[in-house]
A and B are shown apart, each in its own frame.
Chain A
């Protein structure tokens, strides 16, 4: 079947089986390899994408359900989104495999809660597993990003806050 959606701002049409998961469509058809194939049961967060602004584990999300949706992956953030820069600054990764999912989850948290406590950060990221164990620096990264986003928000009426 044909599925239509907008991925990282680009309207797209893909051919997929009705039982295909969005993960496979994004990875294989759209070549978006930041969306990672790991647990296949929706518990590790490595396949996270934003679908209509919601955090979705794409490994258990049927592709046809994304019909008409707006999908954002880390490729769509460019490379200098404040959360991405904060992760680099805090050295908040080792192998980098879980990092795209972490960044999208952190972005979603900060969109909802611009000044989270350490505990709120730990809870919000608890569905994204990092086997390298970079959590100490990941929490730091989210705090750096929070400060930067708040500052950007105050100085430019919110327009430069990446959505």
Chain B
């Protein structure tokens, strides 16, 4: 029982096991230099990696922005297994909140830019509840279409409601009263975003390891069973939705501040799909995976400008091929459902847990189309 079935999954989990077996100080010893390196990337401007079309710090900010979005969407799609196709709607709400409270084009009272970040999160959370409360009782694939509709509604409202200024948009977003921008250069924006990413990663990581996270995973794996086992499914779905929305809104506000300009043009469905592609590509349910996915989706088109014409086509084909051959993404989901069970397994059999190494995206559940 123990030896015959282990070899294949073992190989795949080799790196992760090795990482888990390292002591905490050893993990820190590897992590800290990596993080420092990530911080200094735009300053180092390494050859080969540096982008040619856009200046490198701006490209790196874009990557960081996508990474933040991917972390937020990962809570919804990867952890709780709710397919959200209108995530760009939350991103847009965050951007518009930042714009409305900092741009001189808006008639609202001005706030310091940093204050608009928590405000954007709060407002998008409210939007998350507004959208989630009626729709999260629906089956998964209906939810996908409704969220898609929601994303479009947000975009169309931005088009049509005059105070949101449609295509003419808000200028000088993120400036204070005398018109100086919050940060002068892209590198500073990148640093701010990376710092926020680290904080958000810590918070989300803690959530995942808590009761909330276990509830999410149980909902993802099998909603009906979770309900029977006494998990308040609806409540935790709302939580996933709201937390995901808040992170999306935060990213939107950062984007608005960095760009300094918000109009209705950057919140279309394709952007939503790219966000989703980042999560699915990297591996829904795996934080490191989605960071990788976001880096791929945001960075490659900027680096290989000559392919820009084809990048959506490539993403489309890549998604199909990926779903056929590796539906769990580049890095599969980390199974967190059995934290205690894993310890028991280790004590019993002297190795890591082997139960359901695949995520909901890859598991043989009975819910799939026949």
| Same assembly | no
